[in-house]
Amino acid sequence: MSPDPHLLSPLRIAGVTLPNRMVMGAMHTRLETLDRPLQRLAAFYATRAAGEIALILTGGYSPVPEGVMDEGGLVLDSADQLDEHRQITSAVREAGGRIVLQILHAGRYAKLADCVAPSPGKARINVHAPRALSTAEVWATIESFAHTASLAEQAGYAGVEIMGSEGYLINEFTAALTNRRNDEFGGDFERRIRFPLEIVRAVRARVGRDFMLIYRISSIDLMEGGMTGPEVAAFARRIEQAGADMINTGVGWHESAVPTIAASVPRAAWLAAVRNVKQAVSIPVMASNRINTPDVAERIIASGAADLVSMARPLLADPEFAKKVRLGRSDEINLCIACNQACLDHIFTERTASCLVNPRAGREIEFDDRPAAGSKRIAVVGGGPAGMAFALESARRGHRVTLFEAQDELGGQLIIARKVPGKSEFEGMLRYFDRALRLAKVDVRLGTTADASELADGGFDEIVLATGVLPRIPALEGVDHPKVVGYQDVLSGRVTVGDSVAILGAGGIGFDVAEFL
Catalytic residue list: 168
Report how far apart the first and last C-alpha atoms of the chain are (Å, whole number). Answer: 46
Burial class (CB in 10 A: 0-12, 13-18, 19+), 103: buried
Q: In 235-333, at which residue ranges do the beta strands (DSSP E only) sit?
A: 246-251, 285-287, 308-311
Alpha helices (H) along 51-134: 82-94
Q: Could you tell me the sign of the dihedral formed by the alpha carbons of 35, 72, 357, 474, in that order? A: positive
Backbone angles phi, psi at 78, to 5 degrees: -145, 145
- Cβ atoms of residues 249 and 274 within 8 Å: yes
Helix/strand/coil (H/E/C) assignment for every residue in 235-257: HHHHHHHHCCCEEEEEECCCCCC
Q: How far apart are CA 125 and CA 262, in angstroms?
A: 18
Type and span of the H or E element at 139: helix 135-154
Nearest in space to 266 (alpha carbons), one of 338, 213, 187, 374: 338
Q: How far apart are CA 381 and CA 391, in angstroms?
A: 10
* Cα angle 319-321-322, degrees, rounded to a multiple of 5: 115
Q: Is 59 helix (H, G, I), strand (E, B) or coil?
A: strand
DSSP 8-state class, residue 331: G
Q: With DSSP H G I counted as helix, E B as strand and the rest as coil, what are the percentages for the chain, rounded to 5?
A: 35, 15, 50
Helix/strand/coil (H/E/C) assignment for every residue in 439-464: HCCCEEEECCCCCHHHHHCCCCCEEE
